[in-house]
Amino acid sequence: MRTQVIVLNGGSSSGKTTLARTLQNLLPDPWLAFSVDTLVDALPARLRDGTDGADGIAADTDTVTVGDTFRLLDTAWAHGLAAMARAGARIVVDDVFLGGPASQQRWRDALDGLAVLWVGVHCAPGTAAAREAARGDRPAGMAAAQALAVHRGIGYDLTVDTGTHPTAWCAALVAARVEGVSGE
């Protein structure tokens, strides 16, 4: 079965979005890329800025807290992307498994029956922190705190390290796996 969905999991500033964009340019078929940031940006301001913390999402220096409404919308988002894949779109998902294995299970449930490639996107906490500082759009300390934590208990088909290898090299590994899995 052809790979229909690539799920990239890694902490903030690990290089997931850059990897997804590189994959879009490298893979021969068109792939749509969606980041958890896309979902967060689509939320009403009150759910995004922490003023409705019981329902939305709030981030501080080393934790991200999500509420019930965010969880509901996050699950709906996952099922919506899965529906797009079932309708024929090829999807790259860029996510941060803050809930560990439960986060991966939520995606497994949504993507049931689809051919999925699970990719762990790693980089050292110090590298993630330096990228975070250069970006300037995340609370300081978030990237370092997530760098290792989001991978605990997660099963992958492939892992890449964007801190020790160029993005193009990491993308080539993922693309080779996609092409091998799909028989293209």
Q: Catalytic residues, which ones?
A: 37
153 burial via Cβ count (<10 Å: 0-12, 13-18, 19+): exposed
E strands, 89-178, in order: 91-95, 116-122, 158-161
Crossing angle, helix 142-149 and helix 125-135, to 10 degrees?
Answer: 140
Distance separating alpha carbons of residues 128 and 34, to the nearest angstrom: 21
Is residue 34 within 8 A of residue 92, CB to CB? The reply is yes
